[in-house]
Structure 1
Amino acid sequence: MKRFLIILLMSLVATASYSWDKRGHDASTMIAEKYLTKKARKNISKYLEGHTLTWYASYMDYMGYHYKLGLSNEWFDHCSPVNRKMEYSNGDYDDSGISQKGDAVMCIRKAVDEMKDGGYRNLPDSTVTLYLAWLAHFVPDIHCPSHVIYNFRPTNYWVNVGGGEKVLFHGIWDHVPDRYGIHDWSPGEYCDHLTRNLSRKEVKAIAMDGDVLGWVHQNAVECLVAYDIVRPDTLTDVDCYNATVLADRQLVRGGIRLACLLNMIFG
């Protein structure tokens, strides 16, 4: 068990910073921008330093660790831990007694709590910009199958991807939109293809009225299948197809739910 945990922690430090890869994060944030209200878009633009929201999609991967911009400056900041009831269980990992100082859900809730009800107007502009970077990254992060940490079971292992190469389960899902996915789309094409047939009713159902803990629970229940898709043996073309179907759905959910929070705060 100790050996497994050491390998797991080392591997996640190396891979967690690329959840969904850049293309996936850009796609989710572009989806979010598509569903922003005019008022939210205008208010948010004041804090983006001349950039789009998508420009900040992977900011926490590249700058968060370097400047300690997360809650704990650890890989776990980008994940959402759940218990056997598939409910959010902050600070808990596996059955090893390891306690983490932060996670993605904590970051999301902190940013929302401090900015909602007009609270963002009382914060320094730099803090609002940081919280926007948090939300732009961590909301899609909690929708990545490998970032749902089931504290009652191992959540990482090596997968044979062919040619004698092995990749960790976490690394497979981080790169489903790109290396292991079946699409060769740009982030803009992802946004277009994945949302073109969504009705307002479907978008509202995905948003779930901004219930962050409800999102975590749904992700935990419906992403457990990721371990049936990507197993500790050879990754097949069929596995890549099924992984893409799951990833496409989660990318859309992450984007729409990001827009839901931003509209609630700024719109």
Structure 2
Amino acid sequence: MLKYVELTSEETFDLEQFQKLLSEKTKLVSVVHVSNTLGCINPVEEICSLAHQHDAKVLIDACQSVPHMPVDVQQIDCDWLVASGHKMCATTGVGFLCGKLELLQEMPPFLGGGEMIAEVFLDYSTYADLPHKFEAGTPAIGEAIALGAAVDYLSAIGMDKIHAYEAELTAYLFQQLEKIPQIKIYGPQPDAKGEGRAALAAFTVAEVHANDLSTLLDQEGIAIRSGHHCTQPLHRYLGAAATARASLSFYNTREEIDVFIKALKETIDFFTGIFG
């Protein structure tokens, strides 16, 4: 049976409800570290601690957090943590799974192929040691090298510095967006320094579909994402057909935010002229 955690009034992870859902029957808790729609940063350390009290395992989706902030897997104490390479300046088609050693040793491989076996017999096979057990066939050699280079690059900049700079950008982005009355932003508000949420803003504009908004912004050279963001149940919960999302990273600037806001206002004025 699947159970789902709902949101607080601030559109964040409802930790109190989560505690009520846990029981001796709970086997696995799967949660994002950072929501790619709401931007909320979930309390993963507390989630893991509570789940482990019921002998449940925890899988953390860190695709949205690893590229933007320091992440200490051992401190979180999750059982597995996954992330994707292309969100952290690597190529597409590569990511990683970090898991506790004893669990990885117990897990059977889900793919078969060369290099992942120790011995093959007519009626059974034995598996190679970690990590080869999970690397069936020819590995994504080039992609893995690119991922390693991306990790070195981000580490050289410093994840603390990246997080602090993105927080400043987030505060500025929200200051500018909140000046536009037609916009509704989803997720928690950042504090004055931009802390408390991820460096993104998912929003809707009254009477304008997010896809139409993003199409016109694209023609102005502004790249945002629109649609469900792979979170259709969440959008149904929010009562939004789709949202537009402006995402920031360490390579963005305040000047780029100004260009985005100017183009966004002009786009909204265009649609207002049509519908008004």
**TM score, norm. by length of structure 1:** 0.29
From the two aligned structures, give the one with the greater strand fraction: 2
Higher relative contact order (CA 8 A, sep 6+): 1
| Structure 2 length-normalised TM | 0.28
Q: Higher helix share goes to which structure?
A: 1
